[in-house]
């Protein structure tokens, strides 16, 4: 039995839920128990304490842990979310959006987790704008920010699905920026401890094969069918919004075609973290990533 913990409940994690819901883990010959998590930091603590065997989450936390604890044994081994799943949604259409358009406008960003703003701030910085000069609200939830955009008290918000899809479908919001278009950004992988990677190599290889198979199923299956299969994980999301969110993410190549973590995506996230000040020094790819199981899974 592998105890696999979610990071938090999010639609862009859909392939992880699908591997469980479609029986892919069982078909690959490994028994996996899906464990709910109260918060991303608590998930990391549970993994390090041995209360769970594997979690899914951002390489960001693995890098940050390694930064303060050089002997940390956390390691990413199976890629799934290869690009950034967040959007900047504005109150009015802006088809020729540039980051300079954020000047003088009120922007509400994500407070629940750090990676989205770290990455968006890097995009803004690369466009020649100091993100600290923007009129930014940083302490509200995405649900509160969605309500604020509908109420007209902010000009743009930074959210993932299904918030973006709901706003676009209702006409209350318009896509200004799709963060996935910046290119590969190592966003969500399976994470374990190196001791578990060694002791349970066979089980983790089977898990990785199941994820690989699920990524193929995800790429070929109608979005409405995926939404129906995963509805129990998101009971409050209407099927049409769920399916629309899946299609939008697929059009952006959000999910990788295989589970190999690319150095390009790691380097982009690492650069954003260094520019933000989230890392005090460079953290080597090989210190945080092991691609051996993923490469064997696709061989």
Dist CA 85 CA 71 (whole Å): 31
Q: What is the per-residue pLDDT for 40?
A: 83
Dist CA 269 CA 266 (whole Å): 5
Cis peptide before 162 (omega within 30 of 0): yes
Dist CA 41 CA 238 (whole Å): 30
**28 near 57, Cβ under 8 Å?**
no
Which ranges in the chain are annotated with CATH 3.40.190.10? 2-83+184-298, 87-182
CATH annotation of 2-83+184-298? 3.40.190.10
Instruction: Render each residue's pLDDT in the chain as its tens digit; 299 residues.
Output: 999 999 889 999 999 999 999 999 999 999 999 998 878 888 889 999 999 999 999 899 999 999 999 999 999 999 999 999 999 999 999 999 999 999 999 999 999 999 999 999 999 999 999 999 999 999 999 999 999 999 999 999 999 999 999 999 999 999 999 999 999 999 999 999 999 999 999 999 999 999 999 999 999 999 999 999 999 999 999 999 999 999 999 999 999 999 999 999 999 999 999 999 999 999 999 999 999 999 999 99
Q: Is 18 exposed, middle or buried (0-12, 13-18, 19+ CB in 10 A)?
A: buried
Q: What is the per-residue pLDDT for 83?
A: 98
Q: What is the per-residue pLDDT for 13?
A: 96
Is residue 29 left, alpha or beta, with left meaning phi > 0 and alpha meaning psi from -120 to 50? left
Class of domain 87-182: alpha beta
Contacts of 81 (CB under 8 A, 6+ apart): 12, 13, 187, 188, 189, 254, 255, 256
State the CB neighbour count (10 A cutoff) for residue 19. 27
Q: What is the distance, to the nearest Å, from the Cα of residue 239 to the centroid of all Cα atoms in its chain? A: 21
């Amino acid at each position: 039995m592998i105890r696999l913990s979610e990071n938090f409940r999010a639609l862009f994690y859909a392939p992880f839920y699908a591997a469980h819901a479609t029986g892919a883990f069982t078909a690959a010959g490994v028994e996996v128990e899906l464990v709910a998590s109260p918060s991303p930091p608590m998930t990391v603590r549970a993994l390090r304490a041995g209360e769970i065997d594997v979690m899914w989450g951002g390489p960001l936390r693995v890098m940050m842990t390694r930064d303060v604890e050089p002997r940390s044994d956390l390691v990413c081994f199976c890629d799934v979310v290869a690009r950034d799943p967040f959007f900047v949604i504005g109150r009015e259409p802006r088809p020729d959006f540039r980051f300079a358009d954020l000047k003088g406008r009120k922007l509400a960003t994500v407070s629940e987790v750090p990676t989205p703003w770290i990455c968006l701030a890097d995009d803004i910085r690369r466009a020649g704008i100091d993100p600290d000069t923007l009129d930014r609200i940083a302490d509200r939830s995405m649900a509160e920010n969605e309500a604020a955009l509908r109420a007209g008290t902010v000009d743009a918000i930074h959210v993932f699905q299904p918030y973006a899809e709901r706003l676009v479908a209702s006409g209350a919001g318009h896509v200004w920026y799709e963060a996935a278009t910046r290119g590969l950004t190592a966003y969500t992988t399976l994470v374990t401890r190196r001791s578990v990677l060694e002791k349970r190599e066979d089980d983790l290889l089977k898990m990785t094969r199941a994820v690989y198979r699920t990524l193929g199923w995800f790429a070929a299956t109608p979005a409405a069918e995926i939404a129906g299969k995963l509805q129990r994980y998101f009971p409050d999301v209407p099927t049409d919004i769920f399916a629309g969110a899946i299609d939008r993410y697929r059009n952006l190549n959000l999910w990788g075609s295989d589970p190999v973590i690319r150095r390009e995506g790691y380097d982009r996230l690492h650069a954003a973290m260094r520019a933000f000040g989230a890392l005090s020094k460079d953290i080597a790819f090989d210190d945080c990533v092991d691609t051996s199981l993923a490469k064997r899974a696709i061989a």
